[in-house]
Amino acid sequence: MIEALSLELAKIKQRGTTQLEIRGGERISTAGGTFLYQFPLAEELKLRDETPARVVCDRGEADGSVVSVANGYLIVALEKDLGPKIPLARLITEDSFLVEKLRQKIEEIANGTASFNHSLANSVIAMGPYRMWIQESRSKSLFQCRIFS
């Protein structure tokens, strides 16, 4: 599994980074050396929360991460203040971070430096002693869930 993830990482890194032009950025918050910027989006982006990112504009560049992509807005947390407004910038993201985190976690489990609850994992995929019962409510918008052992 670790080897397969390493091969996948190599392929992702071979493709390189994703770059996107973003406009109309506004600093919406500052906390503890982190600067949150919001950018309106013309179209929905396929970016995962916590994706490492870099924003490059006329005032410089700053590393950070994607906080969210929702409701027509991209929110990024940056390590550097790029001013109250960013009229035009380039967003650069690295797509391999989730695969890398997964590979690292599996290596930690294999090396014994991290724990893993096999019983719970097996129950999630219905291989363990736990069974789940789901009852749909009359409104069809709420569900009840009970776990039996």
pLDDT string in tens for the chain (149-residue length): 778 878 877 777 777 678 899 999 999 999 889 999 999 998 888 888 888 899 999 999 999 999 999 999 999 999 999 999 999 999 998 777 677 778 888 888 888 888 877 777 777 766 545 444 444 445 444 444 555 54
CA 104 and chain centroid, separation: 16
CB 48 within 8 A of CB 17: no
- pLDDT at residue number 10: 79
Q: Give the start-to-end residue ranges of the domains of the chain.
A: 17-94, 123-149
Residue 22 token pair? 């973003």
- pLDDT at residue number 127: 57
Note the CATH architecture for domain 17-94. Beta Barrel (2.40)
- pLDDT at residue number 47: 85
**CA distance readout (Å), 2 to 71, 87, 112, 118, 148:** 36, 43, 15, 18, 33
Residue 50: exposed, middle, or buried by beta-carbon count in 10 A (0-12, 13-18, 19+)?
middle
